[in-house]
A = this chain, B = another copy of it.
Amino acid sequence: MPIKQNIRLTVDAVVFGYIPREGIVVLLIKRTIPPFLHSWALPGGFVLDEETLEAAVTRELLTEAGVNINYLEQLYTFGLPGRDPRGRVVSIAYFGLVNPTNFKLAASSDAEDASWFNIKDLPDLAFDHAAIIDIAVQRLRNKIRYEPIGFELLDKKFPIADLEKLYETLLDRSIDRRNFQKKINHLGILIAHNEKQKQVSQGRPAKLFSFDEARYFQLKKDGIAFEI
């Protein structure tokens, strides 16, 4: 049997949202307990003895920020000695996607504040959370090369331009509108609706689309080679 270990286990969640006019945002909470008291940090905390890792993440997201996530995947485990001043703490980071407009953030007893931050404009962060977000951003940017993306991030019904802007934001370059539409149509994941976007700006109102969920998740599972 092993010598007694003195290592503790936490989970952290990097939850991304997309706001068409603003860009990619990440959910942060303000800590109410030391260390890093009053610092911004990723939602997360210690794993309970009998709960699954996913349950721990879900629980922390709910209690610290009032957020319920459908899409969560494991990101990476961070375990360098010294990453936590309290001693050896290994953290399993998760990666989530949500539509920020679906939630009213609710800071609870566990956090004095919860807020979305643009990933281009992050505050100083507790622990190694800046590094964790870096890895998560890489994962997000890579994802679009072999998976359809957008379902979890956009409104149920959206104009194609929003999806295109999401890709442009993640790829950090402009995309030809016409070619983009051809490719997306070719994937067959969009359903057109007989509805037009309510005017928010000038110009012709856009048709609204939604994802064909069956096909979307099939492609997500199979993987695609999607080069825009």
Instruction: List residues of A whose CB falls within 8 A of some B CB.
Output: 1-3, 5-9, 45-53, 74, 76-77, 79-81, 86, 88, 90, 92, 142, 145-146, 223, 225, 227
A–B complex contacts, Cβ < 8 Å, 20 sampled: A1-B86, A2-B8, A2-B45, A5-B9, A5-B46, A7-B47, A7-B49, A47-B79, A50-B81, A52-B81, A53-B90, A74-B76, A74-B77, A90-B92, A142-B223, A145-B146, A145-B223, A145-B225, A225-B225, A225-B227
Q: Is the CB of A5 within 8 A of B53?
A: no
Number of copies: 2
Hey, which chain B residues are within 8 Å of A145, CB to CB?
A: 146, 223, 225
Query: Which partner residue on chain B sits nearest A81 by CB separation?
Result: B50
List chain B residues, Cβ under 8 A from A49.
5-7, 81, 88
A80, B52: Cβ atoms under 8 Å? yes
CB contacts (< 8 Å) of A227 on chain B: these are 225
* Shortest beta-carbon distance from A226 to chain B in Å: 9
Question: Which B residues are CB-close (under 8 A) to A6?
Answer: 49
Nearest CB in chain B: distance from A192 CB, A: 29
CA distance A46 to B49 in the complex (A): 17
Instruction: Note all chain B residues with C-beta closer than 8 A to A1.
Output: 86
Give complex CA distance A7, B86 in Å. 17
**Nearest B residue to A47 by beta-carbon distance?**
B7
- Residue in B closest to A51 when the chains form the complex, CB atoms: B81
Bound form: Cα–Cα A205–B119 in Å? 56
Give the complex CA separation of A76 and B94 in angstroms: 11
Nearest B residue to A50 via CB reads B81
Quick check: A77 and B80 within 8 Å, CB to CB? no
**Pick the contact of A146 from B52, B53, B86, B146 — CB < 8 Å?**
B146
A76 partner residues in chain B, CB cutoff 8 A: 74
8 nearest A-B pairs in the assembled complex, by CB-CB distance: A2-B46, A53-B79, A77-B77, A6-B49, A77-B92, A7-B9, A5-B8, A50-B81
Assembled-state Cα–Cα distance A146/B142 (Å): 10
What separation, in Å, do the CA atoms of A88 and B7 have in the docked complex?
13
Docked complex Cα distance between A3 and B49 (Å): 10
Q: Could you tell me if B74 and A92 are in contact, using CB atoms closer than 8 angstroms?
A: no
